[in-house]
Amino acid sequence: MADRTEDAAVRLTEYADLHGCSCKVGQSDLDDLLGEAGLTQSRDELLFGVGEDAAARKLTDDLALVSTVDFFTPIIDDPYDFGRVAACNAASDAFATGASDNLDCLVVLGLPQELTDVAPSVLAGIADAIDGMGGAVAGGHTIISPWPFAGGAVSATAPPDTLLTSQGASAGDRLYLTKPLGSQSAMGALRVSDDEFADVVADAAGRPINQIGDEALAWMTTPNRAAAIAGRDLATAATDITGFGLVGQAEVLADNSGVGVELTRLPVIAGTEGLSALFGYGLEDGASAETSGGLLLSVPAARSADLESRLDDAGVFYRQVGRVTDGSGVSLDEPTIEPISR
């Protein structure tokens, strides 16, 4: 770790050893934890809950309340940008269920004592991001913590019959991803872009690191709201891509839906494929952690043209990245890696 006292400017990422969604507890550890705590059973009073991106409760025949909480350690040094990414990531779990109305966010914030002066900037980033999604910051809770973290408890509503989970994918569905991958490699490169390895990192990227970082930030602060609305009544299942990476999230979808997933294409932020090879992050295997990634939408072939048309109209990035099979698990065999520039 760098000597924090030498830096005049605050570098938030130096205050935590794990960054962004990389700090997420692994799927198998989480499964063990839920099992030990007796929290694996579905609850009659909920439409869905544990094991999904968010929980949903049916309030009336026309209205369901979706709630979720998500927070993580700094993925980026700038406090305002960290707030924006954290808010976007927290709301993404609600959007993955298709809920996009009446969005409220209760801020969850933890900062070391010596960093409390950045709190207004983090909060402003969260507030601006939530405002941009048509939502409201409705309160929150702030603590002193050795590692900084930020996020929120997000609630939103939707008609119950439009809600999506990871359980509805069917063989023959096409799988769409609504953001390119590579945020982990982009942010990792920024952390070493001014140290002794700057040259080798720049060579591996083949593009200016700052440009890759700016593009990654732009993707991480793009809300999944428009993608969620486009998928309404068309998708059969959805999840968002976070710390488990594309393959990890696809495994959750495959297991929960009782299907197989065949991944054939990996859109990546241009330059991150070379960075990942240098860092050993596994982007080319779909294994790298993503922070505030896109939605993975499972859509029957007959409806895919409608989905693409809606996504085009809404200006949402998308690629078909694979398909659902009647097998099990996830396969990724020499996928086409497509560099994406904004």
Partner 1 sequence: MTRVDVSGEVCPRPALIVRRELSELEAGDRLLVRGDYPPAERNLCRMCRKRGFSVAKSEDGSDGDTFELTIEVTEDAEIPEA
- For the chain, the first-to-last Cα distance in angstroms comes to 32
CB of 207 to partner 1, least distance (A): 17
For position 7 contacting partner 1 by CB under 8 A, the verdict is no
CA–CA gap between residue 275 and residue 200 (Å, rounded): 10
Q: Which is nearer to partner 1, 32 or 131 (CB)?
A: 32
Q: Exactly one of 10, 20, 21, 22 binds partner 1 (CB under 8 A); which one? A: 22
For position 15 contacting partner 1 by CB under 8 A, the verdict is no
- The dihedral through the CA atoms of 260, 340, 211, 198 has a sign that is positive
- The dihedral through the CA atoms of 292, 293, 294, 298 has a sign that is negative
Is residue 105 annotated as part of the catalytic site, yes or no? Answer: no
Give the contact letters, 152-191, x = binds to partner 1 (CB under 8 A), - = no. ------------------------------------xx-x
For position 254 contacting partner 1 by CB under 8 A, the verdict is no
CB of 201 to partner 1, least distance (A): 7
Walk across the sheet containing 260-269 and list its strands: 237-240, 295-299, 174-177, 319-325, 260-269, 329-340
For position 143 contacting partner 1 by CB under 8 A, the verdict is no
| Residues in contact with 63: Cβ distance below 8 Å, sequence separation at least 6, in sequence order | 157, 158, 159, 160
CB of 12 to partner 1, least distance (A): 13
Candidates 21, 23, 88, 105; catalytic one:
21
The window from 114-122, 133-141, 193-201, 315-323 that contacts partner 1 (CB under 8 A) reads 193-201
CB of 244 to partner 1, least distance (A): 13
Contact 223, 90 (CB under 8 A): no
Contact 255, 167 (CB under 8 A): no
Contact 155, 104 (CB under 8 A): yes
The binding site for partner 1 (CB under 8 A) comprises 1, 17-18, 22, 188-189, 191-192, 195, 197, 200-201, 277-282
